Structure 1
Amino acid sequence: MLVKGNTGLVVIDVQGNLAKQVHQSERTISNVCRMIQGAQALAMPILWLEQTPSKLGPSVDAVANLMAGKKPLAKHTFDACSSAEFLSYVKAANVRSWLICGMEAHICVYQTAQSMIKLGYYVEVVSDAVSSRDEDNKILALNKCALQRIGLTSVEMSLYEILGDCLSPEFKSILALVK
Protein backbone atom coordinates (compact mmCIF):
# COMPACT_ATOMS: atom_id res chain seq x y z
CA MET A 1 0.00 0.00 0.00
CA LEU A 2 1.07 3.53 -0.73
CA VAL A 3 1.23 5.64 2.42
CA LYS A 4 1.47 9.32 3.15
CA GLY A 5 4.95 10.35 4.20
CA ASN A 6 6.59 7.45 2.38
CA THR A 7 5.56 8.06 -1.26
CA GLY A 8 6.96 10.42 -3.88
CA LEU A 9 6.06 11.33 -7.46
CA VAL A 10 8.29 11.32 -10.55
CA VAL A 11 7.00 13.40 -13.48
CA ILE A 12 8.78 12.39 -16.69
CA ASP A 13 9.14 14.40 -19.91
CA VAL A 14 5.75 16.10 -20.35
CA GLN A 15 7.28 18.56 -22.75
CA GLY A 16 7.40 20.18 -26.16
CA ASN A 17 5.83 18.67 -29.24
CA LEU A 18 6.13 15.19 -27.76
CA ALA A 19 3.40 16.01 -25.23
CA LYS A 20 1.08 16.98 -28.07
CA GLN A 21 1.86 13.86 -30.15
CA VAL A 22 1.12 11.15 -27.59
CA HIS A 23 -2.10 9.15 -27.66
CA GLN A 24 -4.88 11.01 -25.80
CA SER A 25 -2.55 13.93 -25.19
CA GLU A 26 -5.01 16.30 -23.51
CA ARG A 27 -6.34 13.60 -21.18
CA THR A 28 -2.83 12.48 -20.25
CA ILE A 29 -1.59 16.02 -19.55
CA SER A 30 -4.72 16.71 -17.49
CA ASN A 31 -4.12 13.55 -15.44
CA VAL A 32 -0.45 14.39 -14.94
CA CYS A 33 -1.54 17.79 -13.63
CA ARG A 34 -4.09 16.20 -11.31
CA MET A 35 -1.36 13.87 -10.05
CA ILE A 36 0.96 16.83 -9.38
CA GLN A 37 -1.80 18.73 -7.57
CA GLY A 38 -2.64 15.66 -5.49
CA ALA A 39 1.01 15.15 -4.59
CA GLN A 40 1.26 18.80 -3.60
CA ALA A 41 -1.88 18.55 -1.43
CA LEU A 42 -0.42 15.49 0.28
CA ALA A 43 3.02 17.13 0.71
CA MET A 44 4.74 14.43 -1.33
CA PRO A 45 8.20 14.98 -2.81
CA ILE A 46 7.99 15.59 -6.56
CA LEU A 47 10.87 14.96 -8.97
CA TRP A 48 10.31 16.77 -12.28
CA LEU A 49 12.28 15.63 -15.31
CA GLU A 50 12.82 16.87 -18.86
CA GLN A 51 14.49 14.92 -21.66
CA THR A 52 17.07 17.06 -23.50
CA PRO A 53 14.97 20.24 -23.20
CA SER A 54 17.25 22.11 -25.64
CA LYS A 55 15.95 19.76 -28.36
CA LEU A 56 12.50 18.67 -27.18
CA GLY A 57 11.50 21.96 -25.59
CA PRO A 58 10.38 22.78 -22.06
CA SER A 59 7.57 21.17 -20.11
CA VAL A 60 4.08 22.11 -21.23
CA ASP A 61 2.71 25.23 -19.56
CA ALA A 62 0.14 23.32 -17.50
CA VAL A 63 2.91 21.32 -15.79
CA ALA A 64 5.41 24.19 -15.56
CA ASN A 65 2.80 26.46 -13.96
CA LEU A 66 2.03 23.87 -11.27
CA MET A 67 5.74 23.48 -10.59
CA ALA A 68 6.40 27.24 -10.38
CA GLY A 69 9.39 28.03 -8.24
CA LYS A 70 11.01 24.66 -8.96
CA LYS A 71 13.41 23.76 -11.70
CA PRO A 72 13.14 20.55 -13.75
CA LEU A 73 16.05 18.16 -13.81
CA ALA A 74 17.36 17.91 -17.37
CA LYS A 75 18.48 14.47 -18.52
CA HIS A 76 19.72 12.93 -21.72
CA THR A 77 19.36 9.25 -20.82
CA PHE A 78 16.03 7.49 -21.20
CA ASP A 79 16.45 5.85 -17.79
CA ALA A 80 16.53 8.69 -15.26
CA CYS A 81 18.40 6.41 -12.86
CA SER A 82 21.42 6.72 -15.15
CA SER A 83 21.72 10.28 -13.83
CA ALA A 84 23.68 10.64 -10.58
CA GLU A 85 21.82 13.90 -9.94
CA PHE A 86 18.43 12.16 -10.21
CA LEU A 87 19.58 9.38 -7.88
CA SER A 88 20.75 11.93 -5.32
CA TYR A 89 17.29 13.59 -5.40
CA VAL A 90 15.61 10.19 -5.01
CA LYS A 91 17.77 9.38 -2.01
CA ALA A 92 17.29 12.83 -0.45
CA ALA A 93 13.50 12.49 -0.70
CA ASN A 94 13.75 9.73 1.91
CA VAL A 95 10.73 7.73 0.73
CA ARG A 96 10.53 4.07 -0.29
CA SER A 97 7.57 4.20 -2.69
CA TRP A 98 7.37 6.13 -5.94
CA LEU A 99 4.58 6.89 -8.37
CA ILE A 100 5.65 7.60 -11.94
CA CYS A 101 3.71 9.53 -14.58
CA GLY A 102 4.63 11.14 -17.90
CA MET A 103 5.93 10.24 -21.32
CA GLU A 104 6.73 8.02 -23.10
CA ALA A 105 5.38 4.96 -21.31
CA HIS A 106 7.44 2.43 -23.26
CA ILE A 107 10.72 4.33 -23.09
CA CYS A 108 11.58 6.73 -20.26
CA VAL A 109 8.74 5.76 -17.91
CA TYR A 110 9.35 2.02 -18.26
CA GLN A 111 13.15 2.20 -18.07
CA THR A 112 13.11 4.50 -15.03
CA ALA A 113 10.53 2.36 -13.22
CA GLN A 114 12.51 -0.79 -13.96
CA SER A 115 15.72 0.70 -12.58
CA MET A 116 14.01 2.06 -9.46
CA ILE A 117 12.67 -1.44 -8.73
CA LYS A 118 16.20 -2.85 -9.10
CA LEU A 119 17.39 -0.21 -6.61
CA GLY A 120 14.92 -1.56 -4.05
CA TYR A 121 12.11 0.99 -4.31
CA TYR A 122 8.45 0.12 -4.56
CA VAL A 123 7.19 1.65 -7.83
CA GLU A 124 3.76 2.11 -9.37
CA VAL A 125 3.10 3.59 -12.80
CA VAL A 126 0.03 5.83 -12.92
CA SER A 127 -1.60 4.19 -15.94
CA ASP A 128 -3.99 7.03 -16.80
CA ALA A 129 -1.20 9.62 -16.49
CA VAL A 130 1.26 8.02 -18.91
CA SER A 131 1.17 7.76 -22.67
CA SER A 132 3.15 7.03 -25.82
CA ARG A 133 2.81 8.27 -29.37
CA ASP A 134 1.33 4.91 -30.32
CA GLU A 135 -1.36 3.43 -28.05
CA ASP A 136 0.03 -0.08 -28.68
CA ASN A 137 3.35 0.97 -27.14
CA LYS A 138 1.58 2.28 -24.03
CA ILE A 139 -0.33 -1.00 -23.67
CA LEU A 140 2.87 -2.98 -24.18
CA ALA A 141 4.68 -0.87 -21.57
CA LEU A 142 1.95 -1.36 -18.96
CA ASN A 143 1.85 -5.10 -19.63
CA LYS A 144 5.63 -5.35 -19.34
CA CYS A 145 5.56 -3.28 -16.12
CA ALA A 146 3.09 -5.72 -14.61
CA LEU A 147 5.37 -8.64 -15.48
CA GLN A 148 8.38 -6.88 -13.93
CA ARG A 149 6.89 -6.29 -10.43
CA ILE A 150 6.08 -2.67 -11.24
CA GLY A 151 2.67 -1.81 -9.84
CA LEU A 152 -0.07 -0.18 -11.88
CA THR A 153 -2.48 2.37 -10.48
CA SER A 154 -4.58 5.35 -11.54
CA VAL A 155 -4.66 8.97 -10.42
CA GLU A 156 -7.77 8.46 -8.31
CA MET A 157 -6.76 5.09 -6.91
CA SER A 158 -3.29 6.25 -5.86
CA LEU A 159 -4.45 9.51 -4.27
CA TYR A 160 -7.18 7.81 -2.23
CA GLU A 161 -4.78 5.05 -1.22
CA ILE A 162 -2.30 7.61 0.11
CA LEU A 163 -5.07 9.69 1.69
CA GLY A 164 -6.43 6.66 3.53
CA ASP A 165 -9.16 8.45 5.51
CA CYS A 166 -12.04 10.75 4.57
CA LEU A 167 -11.43 12.64 7.81
CA SER A 168 -7.95 13.58 6.65
CA PRO A 169 -7.45 17.34 6.29
CA GLU A 170 -6.47 16.85 2.62
CA PHE A 171 -9.67 14.95 1.74
CA LYS A 172 -11.56 17.92 0.26
CA SER A 173 -8.58 18.89 -1.91
CA ILE A 174 -8.27 15.35 -3.25
CA LEU A 175 -12.02 15.02 -3.77
CA ALA A 176 -12.03 18.22 -5.85
CA LEU A 177 -9.29 16.79 -8.08
CA VAL A 178 -11.00 13.49 -8.82
CA LYS A 179 -14.59 14.73 -9.25
Structure 2
Amino acid sequence: MAQRRITNPALFICDLQEKFRPAIHEFSKVITTTQKLLKASQVFGMPVFATTQNRARLGETCEELGLDAPGGVQTLVHVDKTLFSMLTPEVRKGIAGLNKPVSCVIVGIESHICVTQTALDLLQDGHKVYIIADGVSSCNPEEVPIALARLRHEGAVVTTSESFMYECLGDAGLGEFKKMAGIVKEHNRSTKEVLQSLCKI
Protein backbone atom coordinates (compact mmCIF):
# COMPACT_ATOMS: atom_id res chain seq x y z
CA MET A 1 0.00 0.00 0.00
CA ALA A 2 1.37 3.40 -1.06
CA GLN A 3 2.40 5.65 1.83
CA ARG A 4 3.92 9.08 2.10
CA ARG A 5 7.64 9.18 2.73
CA ILE A 6 7.57 12.18 5.09
CA THR A 7 5.03 12.16 7.90
CA ASN A 8 3.61 15.10 9.84
CA PRO A 9 5.04 17.89 7.66
CA ALA A 10 4.45 21.51 8.69
CA LEU A 11 5.48 24.68 6.87
CA PHE A 12 7.20 27.48 8.81
CA ILE A 13 7.27 30.91 7.12
CA CYS A 14 9.72 33.18 8.88
CA ASP A 15 9.29 36.97 8.75
CA LEU A 16 8.48 37.52 5.08
CA GLN A 17 7.42 41.14 5.50
CA GLU A 18 7.12 43.88 2.90
CA LYS A 19 9.61 46.24 4.55
CA PHE A 20 12.37 43.64 4.15
CA ARG A 21 11.91 43.51 0.36
CA PRO A 22 14.54 46.17 -0.53
CA ALA A 23 17.12 44.83 1.91
CA ILE A 24 17.08 41.05 1.37
CA HIS A 25 19.06 39.44 -1.43
CA GLU A 26 16.62 38.10 -4.07
CA PHE A 27 13.64 38.61 -1.77
CA SER A 28 11.17 38.10 -4.62
CA LYS A 29 12.67 34.67 -5.30
CA VAL A 30 12.08 33.64 -1.68
CA ILE A 31 8.44 34.74 -2.07
CA THR A 32 8.10 32.69 -5.26
CA THR A 33 9.32 29.53 -3.55
CA THR A 34 7.08 30.18 -0.56
CA GLN A 35 4.06 30.56 -2.84
CA LYS A 36 4.86 27.19 -4.41
CA LEU A 37 5.18 25.51 -1.02
CA LEU A 38 1.93 27.09 0.15
CA LYS A 39 0.20 25.41 -2.79
CA ALA A 40 1.88 22.13 -1.84
CA SER A 41 0.76 22.60 1.76
CA GLN A 42 -2.84 22.48 0.59
CA VAL A 43 -2.25 19.25 -1.33
CA PHE A 44 -0.51 17.59 1.61
CA GLY A 45 -2.69 19.06 4.35
CA MET A 46 0.34 20.69 5.97
CA PRO A 47 -0.35 23.11 8.82
CA VAL A 48 1.26 26.50 8.27
CA PHE A 49 3.02 28.59 10.91
CA ALA A 50 3.97 32.19 10.09
CA THR A 51 5.62 34.97 12.03
CA THR A 52 6.40 38.65 11.68
CA GLN A 53 9.32 40.35 13.37
CA ASN A 54 8.26 43.50 15.22
CA ARG A 55 5.20 44.11 13.01
CA ALA A 56 4.61 47.62 14.37
CA ARG A 57 7.91 48.74 12.87
CA LEU A 58 8.44 46.31 10.00
CA GLY A 59 4.91 45.73 8.76
CA GLU A 60 2.69 42.82 7.88
CA THR A 61 3.49 39.58 6.08
CA CYS A 62 3.72 40.18 2.31
CA GLU A 63 0.25 40.41 0.85
CA GLU A 64 0.99 38.21 -2.17
CA LEU A 65 1.36 35.17 0.10
CA GLY A 66 -2.35 35.51 0.89
CA LEU A 67 -2.00 34.21 4.43
CA ASP A 68 -5.32 34.21 6.28
CA ALA A 69 -6.97 36.22 3.51
CA PRO A 70 -10.33 35.17 2.03
CA GLY A 71 -9.50 32.43 -0.44
CA GLY A 72 -5.92 32.27 0.81
CA VAL A 73 -4.09 29.78 3.01
CA GLN A 74 -5.34 29.74 6.59
CA THR A 75 -2.47 29.43 9.03
CA LEU A 76 -2.50 27.41 12.23
CA VAL A 77 -0.54 30.23 13.89
CA HIS A 78 0.32 33.68 12.47
CA VAL A 79 1.93 35.71 15.22
CA ASP A 80 4.16 38.71 15.80
CA LYS A 81 7.38 38.32 17.78
CA THR A 82 10.46 40.03 19.10
CA LEU A 83 12.25 36.70 19.54
CA PHE A 84 14.54 35.84 16.66
CA SER A 85 13.34 32.21 16.78
CA MET A 86 9.83 31.52 15.53
CA LEU A 87 9.19 29.37 18.60
CA THR A 88 7.03 31.81 20.50
CA PRO A 89 4.62 30.44 23.13
CA GLU A 90 1.83 30.54 20.52
CA VAL A 91 3.86 28.58 17.98
CA ARG A 92 4.95 26.06 20.62
CA LYS A 93 1.31 25.56 21.60
CA GLY A 94 0.37 24.98 17.96
CA ILE A 95 3.15 22.44 17.51
CA ALA A 96 2.11 20.68 20.70
CA GLY A 97 -1.28 20.02 19.14
CA LEU A 98 0.30 18.05 16.27
CA ASN A 99 1.54 14.47 16.26
CA LYS A 100 5.22 14.28 17.20
CA PRO A 101 7.79 14.44 15.85
CA VAL A 102 6.92 17.10 13.27
CA SER A 103 8.78 17.38 9.96
CA CYS A 104 9.36 21.14 9.98
CA VAL A 105 9.95 22.83 6.61
CA ILE A 106 11.44 26.31 6.96
CA VAL A 107 11.46 29.20 4.48
CA GLY A 108 12.05 32.88 5.10
CA ILE A 109 14.62 35.29 6.43
CA GLU A 110 17.25 35.85 7.57
CA SER A 111 19.12 32.61 7.02
CA HIS A 112 21.77 33.25 9.67
CA ILE A 113 19.50 34.77 12.33
CA CYS A 114 15.81 33.90 12.61
CA VAL A 115 15.90 30.85 10.33
CA THR A 116 18.95 29.47 12.15
CA GLN A 117 17.56 30.04 15.64
CA THR A 118 14.18 28.56 14.65
CA ALA A 119 15.87 25.46 13.27
CA LEU A 120 18.07 25.04 16.35
CA ASP A 121 15.06 25.27 18.67
CA LEU A 122 13.06 22.76 16.62
CA LEU A 123 15.98 20.33 16.53
CA GLN A 124 16.44 20.69 20.29
CA ASP A 125 12.76 19.82 20.74
CA GLY A 126 13.26 16.59 18.79
CA HIS A 127 11.69 17.51 15.44
CA LYS A 128 13.00 16.80 11.95
CA VAL A 129 14.01 20.05 10.23
CA TYR A 130 14.20 20.77 6.51
CA ILE A 131 15.73 24.05 5.37
CA ILE A 132 14.61 24.95 1.85
CA ALA A 133 17.71 26.36 0.15
CA ASP A 134 15.70 28.06 -2.60
CA GLY A 135 13.42 29.59 0.02
CA VAL A 136 15.79 31.37 2.41
CA SER A 137 18.01 34.44 2.12
CA SER A 138 19.70 37.26 4.03
CA CYS A 139 20.65 40.89 3.54
CA ASN A 140 24.19 39.76 2.74
CA PRO A 141 24.14 36.73 0.43
CA GLU A 142 27.48 35.56 1.81
CA GLU A 143 25.74 34.74 5.09
CA VAL A 144 23.54 32.09 3.50
CA PRO A 145 25.99 29.25 2.71
CA ILE A 146 27.64 29.67 6.10
CA ALA A 147 24.28 29.38 7.85
CA LEU A 148 23.26 26.36 5.78
CA ALA A 149 26.58 24.61 6.48
CA ARG A 150 26.12 25.19 10.20
CA LEU A 151 22.56 23.88 10.14
CA ARG A 152 23.63 20.74 8.26
CA HIS A 153 26.21 20.18 10.97
CA GLU A 154 23.53 20.63 13.65
CA GLY A 155 21.35 17.96 12.02
CA ALA A 156 18.99 19.85 9.72
CA VAL A 157 18.38 18.63 6.17
CA VAL A 158 19.20 21.26 3.56
CA THR A 159 17.23 20.58 0.40
CA THR A 160 15.21 22.30 -2.34
CA SER A 161 11.49 22.93 -2.59
CA GLU A 162 10.97 20.49 -5.45
CA SER A 163 13.06 17.78 -3.82
CA PHE A 164 11.08 18.16 -0.60
CA MET A 165 7.74 17.99 -2.41
CA TYR A 166 8.63 14.73 -4.15
CA GLU A 167 10.14 13.28 -0.98
CA CYS A 168 7.07 14.26 1.01
CA LEU A 169 4.95 12.24 -1.41
CA GLY A 170 7.39 9.39 -2.01
CA ASP A 171 5.11 7.41 -4.34
CA ALA A 172 3.55 8.37 -7.68
CA GLY A 173 0.76 5.94 -6.89
CA LEU A 174 -0.69 8.25 -4.24
CA GLY A 175 -3.73 10.33 -5.08
CA GLU A 176 -1.96 13.63 -4.42
CA PHE A 177 0.65 13.00 -7.12
CA LYS A 178 -1.28 14.55 -10.01
CA LYS A 179 -1.94 17.79 -8.10
CA MET A 180 1.64 18.00 -6.90
CA ALA A 181 3.02 17.37 -10.38
CA GLY A 182 0.76 20.16 -11.61
CA ILE A 183 2.30 22.57 -9.12
CA VAL A 184 5.80 21.55 -10.21
CA LYS A 185 4.88 22.06 -13.88
CA GLU A 186 3.23 25.43 -13.16
CA HIS A 187 6.40 26.65 -11.44
CA ASN A 188 8.90 24.99 -13.77
CA ARG A 189 10.33 28.20 -15.22
CA SER A 190 10.38 30.17 -11.97
CA THR A 191 11.99 27.24 -10.14
CA LYS A 192 14.92 27.32 -12.57
CA GLU A 193 15.30 31.07 -12.14
CA VAL A 194 15.18 30.84 -8.35
CA LEU A 195 17.73 28.02 -8.20
CA GLN A 196 20.11 29.95 -10.45
CA SER A 197 19.84 32.97 -8.12
CA LEU A 198 19.77 31.40 -4.66
CA CYS A 199 21.51 28.03 -5.07
CA LYS A 200 24.59 28.81 -7.11
CA ILE A 201 27.19 26.05 -7.07
Q: Which residue of 1 aligns with 2:85?
A: 79
CA distance in structure 2 between the partners assigned to 1:67 and 1:12 by the alignment:
15
Structure 1 runs not aligned, ≥5 long: none
Aligned to 1:44: 46
Runs (4+) of structure 1 exceeding 3 A deviation are 2-5
Deviations 1:49-81 (A, max 9, x none): 111111111111111x15425462111100122
Matches within 5 A, 1:15-164: 15-63=17-65, 65-68=66-69, 70=74, 72-81=78-87, 83-96=88-101, 97-164=103-170
| 8 Å Cα contact 1:10-1:100 kept in structure 2 | yes
Instruction: Call closer, same or farther: CA 1:20–1:178 in 2, change over 3 Å.
Output: farther
Q: 1:95 to 1:45 in 2, by over 3 A?
A: farther
Calculate the aligned-residue CA RMSD, in Å. Answer: 1.7
Structure 1 CA distance for aligned equivalents of residues 180 and 158 of structure 2: 20
Amino acid at match of 1:34: K
**How far apart are the structure 1 equivalents of 2:127 and 2:45?**
19
Q: Which runs of 5+ in 2 are unaligned?
A: 186-201
- Give distance in 2, aligned partners of 1:93 and 1:137: 32
Counterparts of 2:22 and 2:168, CA distance in 1: 30
- What number of residue pairs does the alignment pair up? 176
How far is the alpha carbon of 1:8 from its aligned partner? Answer: 1.0
Q: Is the 8 A contact 1:8 1:93 kept in 2?
A: no
Cα shift at 1:175: 1.4
1:95, 1:128 → 2: CA distance?
26
Which whole-Å CA distance do the structure 2 matches of 1:94 and 1:68 have between them? 27
Aligned to 2:188: none
Deviation at 1:4, TM superposition (A): 4.8
TM-score, normalised via structure 2 length: 0.81
TM-score (norm 1): 0.91
Letter of the 1:68 counterpart: A
Distance 1:84 1:26 in 2: 30
Letter in 2 for 1:134: N
- Over residues 90-117 of structure 1, what are the superposed CA-to-partner deviations in whole Å (9 max), with x where a residue is unaligned? 1112242111111111111110000110
Higher relative helix content? 1
Matched residue type, 2:90: E
